[in-house]
Amino acid sequence: MNIRIVNKSSFPSPSYATELSAGLDLKANIQEPVLLRPLERALVPTGLFIALPQGYEAQVRPRSGLAAKHGITVLNSPGTIDSDYRGEIKVILVNLSNDDFEIVPGERVAQMVVAPFTKAQWEECDTLDVTSRGEGGFGSTGMK
């Protein structure tokens, strides 16, 4: 599948790191470092604009290395880019650690996965079918 991209960043367009990678790395298109203090969030521009085919979305997800090593994650994870959105892709990063974190120009701040989606159509009714789980949620199926 081909996706149209306008790259106004200072960096090459996203590419897959390996043949079997699902996500494309998104880089911070910033001119100078941005300091992210504990519990602070920042809207990080990528300089990328895309046109997805109808029936597809792009999901913006955290990078596992940033999360595990530094406590940096995508706040609205996964963020959704709809197929009719034409604005710049930006990433909402949050620092969940106790330490300051510096985002440097070109830093890989998130990954983007392109995926198909299904549009739901509501069928309104008065009751739902009965299941063994019923209304149980939030840990009702146990820890093991």
pLDDT, tens digit, 9 for 90 and up, residues 86-97: 999 999 999 999
Distance CA 65, CA 1 (A): 28
7 to each of 2, 28, 37, 113, 133, how far by Cα in Å? 15, 13, 29, 17, 48
Token pair of 71 as six digits: 């406590």
Distance CA 131, CA 35 (A): 50
What pLDDT is recorded for position 75? 96
Domain ranges across the chain: 4-116
Q: pLDDT per residue over 9-68, tens digit each?
A: 999 999 999 999 999 999 999 999 999 999 999 999 999 999 999 999 999 999 999 999
Domain 4-116 = CATH 2.70.40.10 = yes
Q: What are the φ/ψ torsions at residue 67 (nearest 5 degrees)?
A: -70, -45
Q: Write down the pTM of the prediction.
A: 0.88
Mean pLDDT of the chain: 95
